[in-house]
Amino acid sequence: MSAGMIDRRQFLALGGAGVAWAASRQFSLAANPVETRLHGLSSFGELKYGPDYTHFDYAVLDAPQGGTFSFSPPNWLFNQNPQTFNTLNSYVLSGEAPPRMELCFDKLMVPAWDEPDAIYCSLAESVMLSADRNSFEFKLRPQARFVDGSPVTAADVVFSALLLKEEGHPRLALGLINLEDAVEIDEHTMRLDFNGEQSDRAILSITQDMPILSKAYYSKNDFTRSTIEPPLSSGPWQVGRFEIGRFVEYDRNRDYWGQDMPFQRGLDHFDKIRIDFFQDRQAAFEAFKKGLVRWREEFTSKVWATEYNFPSIKDGRVKKELFDSEKFPTMQGWAVNTRRKKFADPATRKAIATLFDFEWTNRNLFYDAYQRSHSMFENTALAATGKPGAEELELLEPFRANLPEVVFDEAVRQNVTNGTGRDRRIFRMADALFKQAGWQKRDGKLVDADGEQLAIEVLIRSPVFERLLGPYTDNMRAMGIDPSIRLVDPSQFQSRIEAFDFDMVGMHFSFEANPTAETLRRYFHSSSADVEGSFNYPGISDPAVDAMVGRVGSAKNREELIVAMQALDRVLRAGHYWIPNWHSTNHRVAMWDMFGWKDPKPDYFFPVERLWWWDSSKPGNSG
């Protein structure tokens, strides 16, 4: 994901759950007859759209078709390389694929962007659950086709599931870890069988994330290799022109088999989506100012506050707009690599976090644009607050002997400074924590028992972070640490984070409104700690964390999910695996005034290139 991939997936459940799946009304899984074929699934409660829905409410049926949506991904885009690409195979670990390749591939089901966790049949025409909820039978739409005209069959879906489980990118393979088998029943019917250890809601992630690949194509082409040959796909978009390192274009598939289906109707109005790649932010900004790129989300508060004063802004051809952020939990912070001995003690990690002066940074570098983050699931009911209640304690008590006492007290929050940039209190706090962890001062250097100075390298991929990190590393240096900021090229950055070759690195993630255990597994669970390519950048391996993720998977309702998530958040924050950064409540968007869109935006996703359209009457088209 997009950010897209907006990101989702995995984990292991503790005990059986009675999650409610829904069609046009709520069903209990225990009572749901096997022969019932459903058009959609949802974790908790009813589906918004019934079996006879004609389109999603956020779609626009009469929007004009045509034009190009051109943008450049932000240079901080974590989990994908936004500055170049060298492969069009985005489903294996090797190589760096461009954003939006997922638009080329159909999935069994698609999410509704105005519901927290509902998914609806797309490539699949219907889904049927087994009584034990370990098997899911999908009936495929017979009209589904790959772009070469060949049919998409049950054999392709079975092939895709088994191939991705064994050889796919870890972020997909981990989601299929509990898949026991995929079975072809007939040409248009297949079944996914699980081993019983998956959470009831695992299917939500799997069906909307797993791309359906062509068995015939990959019988002749090596799936595991990097390649610049566009793969055979079946989705609403297909790879068009591209130039490695410069741009990639996706062409709307005018013959897309699903274009008149309810899940697709009223989406994808542009003829082309073009992504331009730039080596630094300033070059990307200059391209936008010249109109070479037409849409931009601004992530640098200084630029937003001071640099949108060029002629096309003044004459109205370029506009600035704020759009509400999505209603799901997000996490942004610096991951501290606990695989390295020097960061093994939580007190060391807490001390490093203490040295960051957010209040001064927000005032002087961010123009007071942000709020401080404290939680892994910021700005939602899933974030822990105050002391744990009775239900949280019931989950946490079995692990009391191995958890810090603070887990059972007020939820951990980051320190607040006086904002002057000279708050000596943070140095006193950090000094006490470093001493607690066994570090000591010698000749002005912070050293361990062997006399080796604590060195911290912060890995970055964009020069903009040097300005931000400068005051932070100055505080580290004043503490006796040997800090450095390592700016590397995009390819090296990608390979290093996937191999966990860093001391500290900044990341940003978004989760589902109701996260599944399968998703959380990839970020926090011990099973992903040493899997290269996973999102578990700090290397978290804690039985209590594993158990809390499991309880998320076994939640029977939203209330139980919230309790389990709050307990998980409480344990993660006490471990100081991440140094939380900051968050905003909106998207800062600048655009050439040539687009139309429907208000309000969906609450749970903001895929502008699929929702907006080209409006030839707007002033941005005048020159």
The CATH number of the domain holding residue 134 is 3.40.190.10
Q: Percentage of the chain with pLDDT > 70?
A: 92
Same domain, yes or no, for 262 and 347?
Answer: no
Q: Are 348 and 437 in contact (CB under 8 A)?
A: yes
Q: What is the pLDDT of residue 79?
A: 42
Same domain, yes or no, for 259 and 362?
Answer: no
Same domain, yes or no, for 190 and 259?
Answer: yes
CA separation for the pair 277, 244 (Å, rounded): 9
pLDDT above 90: residue 536: yes
3-state secondary structure of 456: strand
Same domain, yes or no, for 398 and 539?
Answer: yes
pLDDT band with cut points at 50, 70 and 90 for residue 83: low
Whole-angstrom CA distances from 553 to 331, 390, 447, 556 are 20, 20, 43, 9
CATH code of the domain in which 532 resides: 3.10.105.10
Q: Are 97 and 90 in contact (CB under 8 A)?
A: yes
Same domain, yes or no, for 147 and 274?
Answer: yes
Confirm whether 289 is domain-assigned: no
Q: Are 44 and 268 in contact (CB under 8 A)?
A: no
Confirm whether 6 is domain-assigned: yes
Same domain, yes or no, for 157 and 8?
Answer: yes
Quick one: tokens of 440?
Answer: 């000591």
pLDDT: which is higher, 177 or 76:
177
Confirm whether 92 is domain-assigned: yes
Last residue of one domain, picked from the residues 254, 284, 314: 284
Same domain, yes or no, for 385 and 247?
Answer: no
pTM over 0.75: yes
The total of structural domains in the chain comes to: 2
Length of the chain: 623
pLDDT above 60: residue 353: yes
Confirm whether 502 is domain-assigned: no
Instruction: Write out the E strands in 537-605.
Output: 578-580, 582-583, 586-592, 595-596
Note the Cα 10 to chain centre separation in Å.
13
The answer to which of 70-74, 294-298, 465-469 has the lowest mean pLDDT is 70-74
Q: Are 472 and 355 in contact (CB under 8 A)?
A: yes
Same domain, yes or no, for 156 and 250?
Answer: yes
Note the Cα 197 to chain centre separation in Å.
24
Q: What is the pLDDT of residue 620?
A: 76
Confirm whether 411 is domain-assigned: yes
Q: What is the mean pLDDT of residues 574-585?
A: 94
228-275: pLDDT as tens digits: 999 999 999 999 999 998 999 999 999 999 999 999 999 999 999 999
Residue 571's CB is within 10 A of a number of other CB atoms, namely 25
pLDDT: which is higher, 80 or 115:
115
Same domain, yes or no, for 352 and 430?
Answer: yes
Q: What is the mean pLDDT of residues 572-583?
A: 96
pLDDT above 80: residue 462: yes
Q: State the residue range of the domain holding 375.
A: 331-445+507-583
- Sign of CA pseudo-dihedral 609, 379, 578, 91: negative
392-419: pLDDT as tens digits: 999 999 999 999 999 999 999 999 999 9
Confirm whether 383 is domain-assigned: yes
pLDDT above 70: residue 547: yes
CA separation for the pair 505, 123 (Å, rounded): 38
The values of phi and psi at residue 514, to 5°, are -115, 85
pLDDT above 80: residue 200: no
Closest CA to 479 of 520, 524, 521, 445: 445
Q: What is the pLDDT of residue 619?
A: 84
Quick one: tokens of 71?
Answer: 């943008």
Q: What is the pLDDT of residue 463?
A: 86
Q: What is the pLDDT of residue 622?
A: 65
Confirm whether 566 is domain-assigned: yes
Q: What is the pLDDT of residue 84?
A: 78
Same domain, yes or no, for 278 and 337?
Answer: no
Whole-angstrom CA distances from 286 to 249, 311, 622 are 20, 13, 19
Q: Which amino acid is present at 490?
A: P
pLDDT above 50: residue 529: yes
Q: What is the pLDDT of residue 199?
A: 78
SS (H, E, C) 493-550: HHHHHHCCCCCEEEEEEECCCCCCHHHHHHHHCHHHCCCCCCCCCCCCCCHHHHHHHH
pLDDT band with cut points at 50, 70 and 90 for residue 328: confident
Write down the mean pLDDT value for the chain: 90
pLDDT above 50: residue 135: yes
Same domain, yes or no, for 378 and 269?
Answer: no
Q: Percentage of the chain with pLDDT > 90?
A: 79
27-73: pLDDT as tens digits: 333 334 456 899 999 988 789 999 999 999 999 999 999 999 999 98
- Residues in a beta bridge with 322: 588
Confirm whether 512 is domain-assigned: yes
- Residues in a beta bridge with 295: 71, 591
Helix, strand, coil content of the chain in percent (nearest 5): 30, 20, 50
203-227: pLDDT as tens digits: 888 999 999 999 999 999 999 999 9
